[in-house]
């Protein structure tokens, strides 16, 4: 039976899988030790749980367990990667390359570094949201120390050619950082195949708990070194001091284990639901546009613009459907999405965009409800739009 409201905002966050919660529960009240306490069983049990989770996370991305550094989430991981590398390698160079459609958790640290004297090149994307790897190669110079390109975009779901970018970075002996927050657990990511040196991820985008993330830091070929963001007890190879959140870390590990075993089957099912949603909306309504590459995108992402409709008005009329107009981190901003602008989409159309994020717990019944529910809302708004009436005529 359909339960309202229906949640289709899985790029903002995901529901914690009950199996993840079950794995976490013992570490709140029974095994509550500090993993840094090395002189009693409570600490040993906590440390064992943390190291098991570290291994589960590493396996999902083709890394070694010792290369996983726990953080509070994706924003901290991105800041540690960018600022940590910039500080450590400043004597080698001061040039960083990134892309216009990156998340603010990458763009804003780059702006901070720019204010501190670093040179930052922000590269454009094409109409489909893809960056040209050759453009990256052409932008690298003798002062370049780091390239940061996300694996999959949080608004339009576009999957970047990270393996090709990684190869270019290796050829030029430049570090490659990848914000893989939206991609890990949804599509295969292998740091060795893609030549990634630093990779950011977070648990709550993959059916794990909020408040815990990780940064992959390559240890061989090359041995990547970072300057820590803050100092303390020297936890996490000296890169991230602070008592580890054991229950969250255990949940993160379990979430990665589930993704590794279920990703292929789950991805196919979610992709089928997304295509059904897109087809249904396209048949139900005219003047709708898909934003981003039609095939090189996350299985659960559908970002569409509804012509002759105000996006905010549409969102406020969808009380029984949880969707968004873009990144959850910028949802209070009335300006058109900077990601859609980077694709060359006009402001008026960009303002009418809706991001549907389908996930593990969505059903076909919910998709069919969304098609009719959104369709009816668009019809109501267009009925009072003079511009739509003119376009029809």
Segment 224-234, tens digit of pLDDT: 999 999 888 88
What is the rounded CA–CA span in Å between residue 130 and residue 112? 25
Q: What is 209-235 written as a DSSP string?
A: -SS-EEEEE--SSS------SS-SS-T
For the question of residue 329 being annotated catalytic, the response is yes
**Confidence (pLDDT) at 328:** 52
Q: What is 301-348 written as a DSSP string?
A: EEEEEETTS-HHHHHHT-TTEE-BSS-GGGTT--SPPHHHHHTT--HH
CATH 3.90.1150.10 fits 6-13+263-392, yes or no: yes
**Confidence (pLDDT) at 131:** 98
Of these residues, 110, 135, 169, 329, which one is catalytic? 329
DSSP-assigned beta bridge partners for residue 185: none
Q: pTM of the full predicted structure?
A: 0.96
Q: What is the DSSP letter of 162?
A: H
Q: Are 183 and 300 in contact (CB under 8 A)?
A: no
Residue entry with tokens 């002996």: 173
**Confidence (pLDDT) at 311:** 85
Report the DSSP pairing between strands 301-306 and 353-357.
antiparallel
Helices assigned H by DSSP within 30-122? 41-61, 74-88, 104-115
**Confidence (pLDDT) at 242:** 94
Segment 51-99, tens digit of pLDDT: 999 999 999 999 999 999 999 999 999 999 999 999 999 999 999 999 9
What is the rounded CA–CA span in Å between residue 50 and residue 54? 6
Q: Which helix (H) or strand (E) holds 265?
A: helix 246-284
**Confidence (pLDDT) at 312:** 87
Segment 183-203, tens digit of pLDDT: 999 999 999 999 999 999 999
The answer to whether residue 326 scores a pLDDT higher than 90 is no
Q: Which helix (H) or strand (E) holds 353?
A: strand 353-357
Query: What confidence category does residue 243 fall into, taking pLDDT thresholds of 50, 70 and 90?
Result: very high
Range(s) for CATH 3.40.640.10 in the chain? 18-258
Range(s) for CATH 3.90.1150.10 in the chain? 6-13+263-392
CATH 3.40.640.10 fits 18-258, yes or no: yes
Instruction: Look up residue 64 and give its two tokens.
Output: 């070694």
Q: Angle, to 10 degrees, between the axis of helix 364-383 and the axis of helix 246-284?
A: 60
Of 105-114, 281-290, 382-391, the least confident: 382-391
Contacts of 153 (CB under 8 A, 6+ apart): 101, 129, 160, 182, 292, 339
């Amino acid at each position: 039976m359909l339960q309202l409201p229906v949640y289709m905002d899985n790029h903002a966050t995901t529901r914690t899988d009950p199996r993840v919660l079950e794995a976490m529960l013992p570490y709140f009240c029974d095994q509550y030790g500090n993993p840094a306490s090395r002189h009693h069983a409570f600490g040993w049990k906590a440390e064992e749980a943390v190291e098991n989770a570290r291994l589960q996370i590493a396996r999902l991305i083709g890394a070694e367990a010792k290369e996983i550094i726990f953080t509070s989430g994706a924003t901290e991981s991105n800041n540690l990667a960018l600022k940590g590398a910039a500080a450590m390698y400043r004597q080698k160079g001061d040039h960083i390359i990134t892309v216009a459609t990156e998340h603010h958790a990458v763009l804003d640290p780059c702006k901070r570094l720019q204010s501190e004297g670093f040179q930052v090149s922000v590269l454009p994307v094409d109409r489909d949201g893809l960056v040209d790897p050759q453009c990256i190669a052409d932008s690298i110079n003798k002062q370049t120390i780091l390239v940061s390109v996300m694996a999959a975009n949080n608004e339009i779901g576009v999957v970047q050619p990270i393996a090709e970018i990684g190869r270019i970075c290796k050829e030029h002996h430049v570090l490659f950082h990848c914000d893989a927050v939206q991609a890990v657990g949804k599509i295969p990511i292998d740091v060795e195949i893609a030549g990634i040196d630093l990779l950011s991820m977070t648990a709550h985008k993959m059916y794990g708990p909020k408040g815990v993330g990780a940064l992959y830091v390559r240890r061989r070929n090359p041995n990547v070194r970072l300057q820590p963001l803050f100092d303390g007890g020297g936890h996490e190879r000296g890169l991230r001091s602070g008592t580890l959140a054991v229950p969250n870390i255990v949940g993160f590990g379990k979430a990665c284990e589930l993704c590794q075993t279920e990703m292929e089957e789950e991805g196919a099912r979610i992709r089928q639901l997304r295509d059904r949603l897109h087809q249904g909306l396209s048949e139900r309504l005219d003047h709708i546009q898909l934003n981003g590459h039609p095939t090189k995108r996350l299985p659960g992402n559908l970002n569409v613009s509804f012509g002759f409709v105000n996006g905010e008005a549409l969102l406020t009329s969808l009380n029984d459907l949880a969707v968004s107009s873009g990144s959850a981190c910028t949802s209070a901003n009335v300006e058109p999405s900077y990601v859609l602008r980077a694709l060359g989409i006009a402001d008026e159309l960009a303002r009418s965009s809706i991001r549907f994020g389908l996930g593990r717990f969505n059903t076909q019944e919910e998709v069919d409800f969304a098609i009719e529910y959104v369709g009816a809302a668009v019809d109501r708004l267009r009925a009072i739009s003079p511009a739509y009436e003119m376009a029809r005529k």
